[in-house]
Structure 1
Amino acid sequence: MEFKISSLSTSLDQELLNKINGKTKPLGSLGMLEKIAFQIGSIQESLSPEIKNPAVVVFAGDHGIADDGVSFYPKSVSYEMLYNYMQGGAAINVFSRQHNINFKVVDAGIDHDFDPSLNIINKKIAYGTKNFRFGPAMTKDQCLEGFRSGAGIIEGIHKDGCNFIAFGEKGIGNTSSAALILSLLADISLEECVGRGTGLDDNGVKSKFELLNEALHKYNGGNNPLDVLTQFGGFEVVMIAGAMLKAAELKMTMLIDGFIITSALLAASKINPKVLEYCLFAHKSNEQAHIKMLNYLKAEPILDIGMRLGEGTGAMVCYPIVKSAVQFINEMASFQEAGVSESEEVKTIS
C-alpha cells in the first residue's frame, strides 16, 4: 500500500502572491480567501486555478460498538439514512444540490442489503465491524481492502474530470472510533476525546467514556495507524483514509469536513504526512475533540458555526467560500488593469 504523494511545488509562489496582492484591494483585505486561492493555485501549479466537476462522496459503515448504546440512535439509522440519501431528503443532498456538486454514496460496510438498482456504490467489506470491546473491529486484510477500495473510487472520480473532492460519512457509533483514533495517534487522553456524538447527555457521555476506556485498556498494540484502524476503526473510516491518500497523489484539492473525516485524515497523515498539503479545513465541529484534532494537525478551519451533523455538510456549506477564492483570483481586476493607483506597500511587497 504505497501512495506517491508529491510536496507542493513552490515554483509559482512569488507569482501567485504578486497576483493576489496586485488585485484592487488593500493588502490582505480578503483574509482567508487569499490563503485559499494561494493554496489551490499551488496544488494545481497554476496562476489561474479552477474547480472542475466537484464531488462529495459519503462513505457509510456500521459499527459493532453501537450495540452497546454509545449513540443516541440505534444502528438501524445508518441504513435508513442511505435510503434518505437516495430519495434526496438529507441535509447533504440539499447542500450538494444547492452548489451543483456531484453526490455519491458508498456502502463500505452497512448491516443491510440494498437493492442493486439503487445508485449506491457497493464496496461492502462486511456487515459492519465487530465490537472492539471484545477484539479488533476488523482484520488487517479488511483494513487494507478498505484503503484499496477508497483509493479506487477516487481514481474513477478523477478520471471523470474531477479535481476537487469532499468526503462525508454515515455510521452510528463512529464518533467512538474517532475518539480512540485521536487518543492513540495524537497521544491525547481519552477523556478529552470523547464527546456527545449524536446528542448524549452527561450520563450518556460518562457511560460512553467508560466503555471506550475499557476497550482501550484491553488493546495491546501500539500507535501504528494501520494497527489502530484495524482495532478501532470503521470500514467507512479506512476507505476515506485511502481515498484521501489517492486524492493527494492525484493532486486533487480536498475540503475536509468534521470530526470523523478529520480522524480519517489524521490516520492518513501518519501514513504520509504530505496528504495534509492538499487539504482545506471547512469548519470546526461542535464535537468537543475536533478542535484538539485540528490543533494537532496545525489546521486552520474556515468556519466555526456550531455544526456537528457529519455527512460532509460542513464542507458543502463552506464550499461557496472556497469558490469565491477561486473566482477573485481569476476575475478581479488588478490595479494595472483597472487604472487604479497602487499603494507603496503593494509595489514593494516581496
Structure 2
Amino acid sequence: MSVPPVDRNKKELYVAQLLGKAMPPHSLGVLAELAVKLALINPKPLRKPALILFAGDHGIAEEAVTHSPQEITWQQCVNFAHGGGACSLFARCNAVELTVVDVGVDHVFTQEDLVLDQKVSFGTKNFLKEPAMTQAQCTQAMEKGRILVREKRQAGFDVIAFGEMGVANTTSASALASALTGYAPFEVTGKGSGISEAELLHKQEVIEKAIARYPTDDALELLACLGGFELAAIAGGILEACELGLPVLLDGFITTAAALVSCALEPNCKSYLIPCHVSGMHGHSLLLHYLGLDSPILDLGMQLGEGTGSLVAWPIVALASRILPEMTSFSEGKVTDSTEILSRIGLV
C-alpha cells in the first residue's frame, strides 16, 4: 500500500465554492486556505480526533545533553495516562481521545499505570557509540505506530495527532533532522528542556560527531542509527494515516523530525500534514520550510511537545473543515451575490 496523492484537480471547485459562500471574497484569509486543503484530503467535516502519544528513552542521554533525569519519561507517562500534564488537560478540554503508549521506555509499567504496552526495547543505545536501534527494532516500532493508527481508523476516528515523551529526544530529533535535511546541527539544535550556551555547543558537537559515524542518506537507516523508538512509531503512524487518507495534525519539532522520515519514504505524505504551530524550539521553522509547510496555524512560542500544539490548533482545524460543507451560500441564504457583482467588474 502507498500514500495516494490528493486530487488537486478539485482545488478550483473548492475555491469556487468558497467564493459562492455568503461573505465578501477572501474574507476568511488563511482559514479558507486551510478549508480547501482539508477538503482535498476529506471533504467531510472532521469530528473525531485521536492523539497517540508515544514514549521512549534515549541512550544519548549518557552524553550530558540534558539535565533531566531519565525517570521523568516514565513518571510523565503515568501522569499523562491519569489525566495530568498539559497534553491530558488540553485533550480533555477539546474532547480528544488520548492514548499513552510505551514503545521504548526504560521502565516496567503496571496495569494500574494505564500506559499501553507496545514496548520494543528498554530505551535506545547511545548513538554516539553505536546505532540507536537495530533495523529490525526500528521496523518493529514503525509497525507499532501503523497498527495503532489502523485501530483508531477502524474505531471511527477521522483525524490523527501524535505526541511524544522521552528525555533527550530533542537530541535524537535534531540529529535525525540534520542528517535528513542537510541543515547543519547548529541550525536545528536547541536547548531542549533547558541547558546553558556552553552545554548547547556540546550538544551540537555530539550531534555532529554522531552524524559523521553514519554516512548514508537512506531515511530508514538514519532513523535506526539516530532516532528513538517514539520517533519511529510516529513515522510509521504518519505513513499509515496518510495511506488511509486521514489528515495528520502535525505538532512541534520532534514530531516534524519524524515526519521527515515519512515524507522521505512517501513524498505524498506532505499533502496530508496540517502544520498546527511553529514551535519555539530552534530550527522548527526550517523543518517546516523543508517540507513545504510554510503556513503553520499558530505561533505561540510553545515548545512543550506531547502533541500540545496540535491540541491547541484542533478547534481551528475542526472549524475550517466545516466551512465548505456547512456554510450557507448566497443562494441558500437568499442574499444578493456581492461576489458575482465584483466579478462582473473585474475585481474578483
TM-score w.r.t. length of structure 1: 0.94
- Output the CA distance in 1 between the equivalents of 2:259 and 2:203: 23
Is residue 284 of structure 2 the alignment partner of residue 286 of structure 1? no
Is residue 327 of structure 2 the alignment partner of residue 329 of structure 1? no
Say if 1:345 and 1:254 are closer, same or farther in 2 by CA, change over 3 A. farther
Work out which of the residue numbers 141, 144, 147 in structure 1 matches 2:142: 147
List runs of 5+ in structure 1 lacking aligned partners. Answer: none
Secondary structure (helix, strand or coil) at the match of 2:98 reads strand
Is residue 264 of structure 2 the alignment partner of residue 264 of structure 1? no
Amino acid at match of 1:270: A
Could you tell me which residue of structure 2 aligns to residue 132 of structure 1? 127
Deviation per CA, 1:278-319, whole angstroms, max 9, x where unpaired? 110000001111011011111021111100000000000011
Amino acid at match of 2:282: Q
TM-score w.r.t. length of structure 2: 0.95
Work out which of the residue numbers 25, 30, 33 in structure 1 matches 2:31: 33
Contact 2:55 2:166 in 1 (8 A): yes
1:68 deviates by: 2.1
Q: Cα RMSD between the aligned structures?
A: 1.6
Could you tell me which residue of structure 2 aligns to residue 60 of structure 1? 55
1:349 deviates by: 9.4
Could you tell me which residue of structure 1 aligns to residue 179 of structure 2? 184
Could you tell me which residue of structure 1 aligns to residue 159 of structure 2? 164
Deviation per CA, 1:169-224, whole angstroms, max 9, x where unpaired? 0011111111111111111111212111112221221121122222223x143111
- Output the CA distance in 1 between the equivalents of 2:334 and 2:272: 36
Contact 2:279 2:285 in 1 (8 A): yes
1:339 deviates by: 2.3
1:346 deviates by: 5.1
- Output the CA distance in 1 between the equivalents of 2:330 and 2:185: 53
Q: How does 1:82-101 map to 2 (within 5 A)?
A: 82-101=77-96
Could you tell me which residue of structure 2 aligns to residue 247 of structure 1? 241
Contact 1:52 1:161 in 2 (8 A): no
Work out which of the residue numbers 12, 15, 24 in structure 2 matches 1:14: 12
Say if 1:214 and 1:21 are closer, same or farther in 2 by CA, change over 3 A. same
Percent identity, please: 35
Work out which of the residue numbers 278, 289, 295 in structure 2 matches 1:295: 289
Deviation per CA, 1:144-190, whole angstroms, max 9, x where unpaired? 11111111111111000111011000011111111111111111111
1:130 deviates by: 0.4
- Output the CA distance in 2 between the equivalents of 1:349 and 1:224: 50
Amino acid at match of 1:325: A
List runs of 5+ in structure 2 lacking aligned partners. Answer: none
Amino acid at match of 1:19: Q
Q: How does 1:190-209 map to 2 (within 5 A)?
A: 190-209=185-204
